[in-house]
Structure formats: C-alpha cells, structure tokens
Chain A
Amino acid sequence: MSFFAGGFEQVNPLEQTIESILPGVQKPSRYIGGEPNQVVKDPATATARIIWSYPDAYEIGISNQAIQILYSMVNERTGAWAERTYCPWPDMADAMRRENVPLFSLESWRPVREADMWGITLQHELCYSNVLEMLDLAGVPIRSADRTEEDPIVIGGGPCASNPEPMAPFFDCFLIGEGEDLILQVVEILERLDTRAKRMLALSRIPNVYVPSLGTHLVDRAVYDSFDISTQPTKPIVPYASAIFNRASVEVMRGCTRGCRFCHAGSWYRPVRERPAEKVVEAGLAALDCTGYDELSLTSLATSDYTDVEKAITGIKAVRPDLHLSLPSNRVDTGPVALTAAANTRQASITIAPEAATQRMRNIICKTIDDEMIENAVRAAFEQGYTSLKTYFMVGLPGETHDEVQAIVDFGIRAREIGREVLGVDGKFTVHVSASNFVPKPHTAFQWEGMALREQLRRKHEYIRRGMPRQQIKLSLHDPMTSMLEGAVSRGGRHTAPVIERAWRAGARFDAWNELYNERAWLDAFEAEGLTLDGEANREFLEFESLPWDHIRSGLSKEFLLDELWQSRAEAVTGDCRWDGCTDCGACLGPIRTRVMN
C-alpha cells in the first residue's frame, strides 16, 4: 500500500489543480473549507444546490451573520444544499486564471457555475467590483442578459440592495429586505421548477423580489416580523483562518428607534423587534458549546437599547462567569459604559460614537445626546478602569461649519483632560479619535444631500490632524477618495453600472482595501462614461425629483423622510419613538405595530 493511500481521499483533476496552487498563495486556509460545523450533503440527493457569497476576502465574509443565517436555514430546513464561496485574493485569482480553475465552493470544491442559484450579499458599495470579479472567475457571464440555462440564477441581497440599480445589469434578481422568510419561498421554487425561465418567472411573482430585466417595478422590502429565535444559527461555522470577528454571536434586537438621519441601517431595518432574554441566553450558550469560542457578542444596532439587556447579561454570566461578553454599538451614556463593564471584566477598551462634536450638528443629524452626557460617559469609562477610549465622528455632514471641525479637536483634548483627571497626568490611557466621511445613503433623511467636495474633506482632515495633540491621543481619518467612490455608487442609477464594469475591467478589485484600491481605474471609468466621480458623489437631488431607488419601498414614507430633512435644516431633533410617541414613519404595519405599541 502506498504510504499516502491511508490519509488521502480520491481527488478529481480540479481538486488536484487547486491543491497544486494553494501552497503558492497567501493564507491558503481561505480556500480549503471543512471548518467545524460546515454542512456537507450528498449532491446526488440534494434537491437544489445554492451558493452563498460575500464578495470580499474569506476573513471578512465568514464573520457575516446574514450568510450564516441563510446557510443554516437552507441546510437545516430544506433538502437543498447551501455552500459558500468568497472572493479570492488577487494572488489566488491570478493563479486560478493561469491554471484554468473556475471559482469553486468551499464545501465540495466543485464549480460555482454548476449551482442552481448563487446568492451574493451586498453589504457595502466598495465590494461591487469584487462581484464582477467572482462572476468572471466562475465563468458566469457578467451581465444577466448573456446568461443561459447553464448558468445559476444570480441573486443579490443585503442592505445595498436598497438601491439595486447600479448593480442591476449584473444580477438576475434581488431579494429586497430581510431574507429569513423569503429564502424558503425561493428554495421551494428551485425545487419545484427545472428551467431558468420558469424559475425566474416564479421569482418575479414574489412581491419582495426585484427582477431588473422586467423594468423598474415596485418592490416591497421584506420584514421578518416574527424575528423568531429559531432562525439564529444553531451551529455557526467556525473559521480556521483569523476572522475579523472570532466569536459567537446572538442577534438580540433588529432595528433602531433612535432615528439618526444619516444612518442607513436605522432606516432600513425598522421597526424594532426584540428577542426574549431567556431565548437569547439559551441560544448564546448553545452557540458557545458548539463553536468552542470564548467570547459571545450580543449583536444589534444599539444593544444598550435592548430592553432585556441586563437580564440577558446576568443569565449568561450566571452560567459562564469568565466569558468575554461584548455589547457592540452602544449609545453614548454612562448606563452603557457600566453595562459594558459588567458584561466584560477583562476588556481594556470601550467605544462610544458621538458622531458629531457640537450640539448644533448633533441636532442636525438627530443624535439626541448632549455635551454633558458625552463627558459623563468619557469620565465613567476611565473610572471603570478602561485605558483605551475609542470615539467615532463624521466630517462633511450637511450644514457643517468650521466650528464643528474645531469641536472634534476640542473633544480629543477634553477627553484627554478627563482621562488625566481620573488616571493622572502620566496615566497610561489612549483616546482614539476616529473621523470618517459622511456618505449619503438611499432611504435616509439625507438621501437628497450631496457629499462634501473631496478637497473640502482633505482640508478638514488636515485641520484636525494639525490641531490634535499627539500625546495620549491617537487620530485616524478615513481616506476621502474611497468615501467619494462609496458616495458616487451608493446613490447611483442604472447609468452607474457601466462605470463599475469599466473599472473592474481596468483592474479594480478589493476597493475597500487601501493597499489594493485602484484610484486610476475608477477615475478613468467615470470619465469614459461621461461622468466624474466627484460630480456623482457631490450631487444633490431635488426634493421633488425622482430618485433611482424610488421603486424600492422600504416602508418609510417619503413624506416622513422629507420632513426629517427639513427638521435637520431647522436643526431640530425628532424624538425616539420608543419613548416619545410614534413619528409616523410608516415602518410599523399590522401585527408589528400592535407589538411595538404594546
């Protein structure tokens, strides 16, 4: 017997080629699959083959909760087999092209093109070029119009599907909204019908599915109104390679009532739905047991707003007192600071996001906090023993003046003063001040507003950089160029699609990665289509103008969003509907309204 015969399964020529190129690429573990809790079904008996993709590197994509939920739902509740693939890093993509290896799934190492359906989540605009890269690597025609019976149905989803137009020619259809209920209908169609044409026709009849080839028809956002804990993955996949989030997680709440006017997620995921604490505790402990993680995250858009947060923390800590429990996205307040401290006794850093440094600007963006609350939160953080305070701000917001930019510098200095008061002048602490650039998003109150000019953003960054002291303060500023691209694409229309295709053909991929961002490719692509990147990003829409995403009905009325826009221009805040009464945004309908009101 050969000494290798015992250890190796039989491999086909494609697998042999993949194995031969893996030793020569960075992080080959990105491509091997086989992680704990991966699901493998018999291809001969699976009723349909579905591929889920996150169009970025494995370590980013594996942390995405949406993919984990849909993967688990399809594999546990249907006879279909859900597999995964992520965007190969450029070294791997080049090797695959050189060796004629098509994009393959991690579970079976079989070509993605052989699947019945290929679902790609669009979590941010800077991954659009990666979608084209993946389609090309898979051997699937870039444009939907060129696909045949041999190709899978390519479906888009995720938050960026709220404006599908820039990517419309590349997808066969989009699932608009939350996928938990929708996906079961889609699988049923794949199982029942056998041709591409029949399947597409059936999909187009679902009110939450947008089929671009049928023209811009009205589509309603799907809302997973029961928000039942049963869709929480019971056995999430545990990555081999370092993921950005190496921890188990339970989604405790979906939606947010804070109403920040810049926030896409705050608008798109309305209304607020919560899960009972006892179910959260049960799901969290089960996830820890089956993954082997030593950290659990209670996720939501603002976990400190979750009604049962205290009960959930206490319940989990009662069973796992040493557990590292993280509560992301907390409000700026002393309550959340204390909550975070209670949840996790070993973490040295805490994050707060004032977003704007003056009261005027916080009124404009509807961030209902004041200077005293921010100061109290900073003080509480240092008093609780945190030595690293991370703070987030935005520059380039509508109506921003020099005072707002100066106030970010002043905040950094004041936070350092507070740190020195609590921990001493030479105390070992760091205040991290991070400033990103405002990017207007569809379906928000600021969807009509343009971005600041690139030069303005650069000057503001430079002002902050020069004014901010270095000692005990660490400053990080987001590159305006990628923000401009995000802004140009996020509110783009069908005319933006050729720009994306040109940029990809010119070498753009992994645009969210600074070291790989190809600025020239994008500038040339916009120019070739008679556009400018800055012009698209800076564009202000008129209030009565038709918007490229008007046919996607998020549930929020346009009147409400317009009213919010005017309120922002009047520097007035709108109350939180959880406490201050309904704002009549339109998101709560039927049974959800009843529950929210109760």
Chain B
Amino acid sequence: MSDDATTATTVATQGVHPLGPMTHAQHTAFEAKRLTSPEEAIAASIAAFEHRYHYRIVVAIEGRVRFLSHLETVDTLLGALRRSGVKLALSPGMKPKPRIKMAMPRPVATEAWSDLVEVELHEAIDADQFALQLSEVLPKGLVLQRVERIEGIYTSAASRVAGATWRWRFAEDVTTGELEEAVARLTASDELLVDRTSPNKPTRVVDVRRFVGDMAVVSEDAGVPALRAFVRLTEMGSAKPEEVVRALGALVGRTFTPTRTVRESIAIADPGTGGQIAEPALVGADVPDGPAKPWGAC
C-alpha cells in the first residue's frame, strides 16, 4: 500500500467513536494487513490480461431455458463457467469483467442446437478437461456439444457471423402444400416487405427477401410440416425469424404460427474472406434429427 493511502486512512480514523468495533490501533493493524489496494488490483488485472487463452464452446439450448433472454443466457453460462473451476480472464481496469461472447443473440423462446460461445481463460486447460468440468455444472437444458481451443490469431466468431439456419415446426392446421406454395412465391419474388415494430422505436420496413437464402419444406414422420431456411446476416442487417414466417404467411393470405423455432446452426465466415461463405443448400439435403449428441455421450 502506498504511503499516501496509509496517511489518508490514519487521518480518517482520528474520529473513531469509543463504541466502535475497532480501536485505532486495531484499525491501523487491519489496514496494514489489507491484501489488495486499488493500485495493486489494477496492476494484477493488467498482468492477467496479458495471459489469455481462447476457447469456443458449442452448446445446445433446449427445453425451458429457451425462454431465457440473450443476457440471461450469457449470465447463466458465466455462472456455470465460474462453478466449473476454470480461471476466467478478466478485462483490465477498476471493474474487471470476464471476457465472454456469444456469436449471435438468440430470440427468446427459440431453441438452438449449436450456439457458439467464446471465452477467454487466464490459464490454459485441455479442451476435453474443460468440457468435462463444464458439462457437470451446466443447468438442465444447456447441453454441451464440444469445447475447442482457438489457436493462432483470435478473431471473434461474433464479428464473422454470416447467417444462421433456422427451422420451424407449425401447428397441425398448416399443410405441406401451403408451405410449399409460400416458399415458391417467396423464392420467385424480388422483394418482400414486412413491418418491424420495436418498443420506443419507429416502425421500420424490412425486405425479408434480401436476407433469405435457400429454403426447404421438410417432411416429419409425425406428419407435421416443418420448414428450414438459411437467413443471412449482412452489413445491411438481417431478418428476424418471426419476420420470415410472417412474410411467408402473407404470401398465401394466412398466418403461420410456429409451435417451435430452432436455430440449427450459425454460419461463420473464415478470417480474411470478407464475411463471405458458401451458403448451405437445404433443398434435398439431409435433414438432421436434432442437436449432436451431448459431449461425453457414447
């Protein structure tokens, strides 16, 4: 502790009341034992900032936890990371924060099969060991798929997101024929405008067509129709999944109400490609049943 700080504290304790819990001598002794001054704390956090190891966590979000907001999901993951015992790297400064980033916010009530979370650690750890520790403390519904160590120059996935593949299941009153007709009309159109309303913001008009890539109606063994679509994230923005569904309904003069919405995967462009990716072709492609098996499952 600096001399100045000691002097300030000594001055500050001149008025200690006789009923106080510590005498002046006790207080001075206690001050001498202070383990961390603000200066030391900042210096320690700067030192810690220099030793950072990046990891990418792939996690499925299922069941009731899909009702968590983006920030709540981040906080929940952060709590799990702390409980797992890994050493999180902190940002420098007076109020250091753990460095954690999700590649793409997830709308409330939608599931995800392979959402990407990137975290910086202060101490390197084997990716499998990390996965083992984390999988034991994740709450129900957050299912760990894998953990990868990111080597080399780090560029966050969040800065390279090119889009996501979405899937919707609809109520039984929606037929495969209606969905196929809507998809055909959307594919044939040059522009498809929907209103975007947000609280405390003026209504905007969004051209959904510009952001929708390949789209396919898939058959379900339960006989319930489902739809898959790749939705781009560009410098001009993106379309929200519910806007895509609303636009489709408008094309056939009805309202499609999804009973489940899933973000199957997030497409990340490789560094140096200017955010360009080869978009997935969904028509005729294999249709995955669900998220990959949880980490550690046989």
**A interface list, Cβ under 8 A from B:** 1-9, 19, 22-23, 27-29, 31-36, 238, 240-242, 289-294, 304-307, 309-310, 314, 317-318, 321-322, 331, 333-339, 342, 345-346, 348, 368-369, 372-373, 375-377, 379-380, 383-385, 576, 579
Contact = CB atoms under 8 A, between A and B. Distances in A.
Contacts of B21: 304-307, 309, 335-336
Interface in B1-39: 8-9, 11-17, 19-22, 26-27, 30-31, 33-38
B12 A334 contact: yes
B246 to A, nearest CB: 14
A322 B289 contact: no
Contacts of A318: 35
Nearest to B222: A2
A28 B69 CA distance: 9
Given A29-B68, A322-B41, A345-B41, A36 B15 contact: no
Interface residues of B, number: 67
B44 interface: yes
Contact of A36 (B41, B139, B289): B139
Interface in B55-94: 60, 62-65, 67-69, 72, 75-76, 78-83, 94
Contacts of B287: 3
A342 B12 contact: no
B71 to A, nearest CB: 8
B288 interface: yes
B15 A1 contact: no
A334 B24 CA distance: 10
Contacts of A289: 83
Interface string B244-257: 00000000000000
A380 B224 CA distance: 69
A312 to B, nearest CB: 12
21 contacts: A2-B221, A3-B167, A3-B262, A3-B290, A7-B60, A23-B67, A23-B109, A240-B75, A242-B72, A292-B79, A306-B21, A310-B22, A321-B36, A334-B12, A334-B20, A335-B17, A335-B27, A338-B27, A338-B30, A377-B15, A385-B38
Contact of B290 (A6, A28, A242, A335): A6
Contacts of A331: 20
A246 to B, nearest CB: 8
Shortest 3 CB-CB distances between A and B: which pairs? Answer: A376-B15, A6-B290, A292-B82
A348 B95 CA distance: 10
A345 B63 contact: no
Contacts of A238: 79
B226 interface: yes
Given A3-B167, A292-B79, A9 B63 contact: yes
Given A291-B79, A334-B15, A380-B12, A34 B62 contact: no
A22 B78 CA distance: 24
B220 A35 contact: no
B12 A322 contact: no
B244 to A, nearest CB: 16
A345 B38 contact: yes
Given A6-B291, A322-B96, A346-B95, 18 more contacts: A2-B220, A2-B224, A2-B289, A3-B289, A7-B60, A22-B67, A23-B67, A23-B109, A28-B109, A29-B69, A293-B79, A322-B44, A334-B15, A338-B31, A342-B34, A368-B19, A369-B17, A377-B15
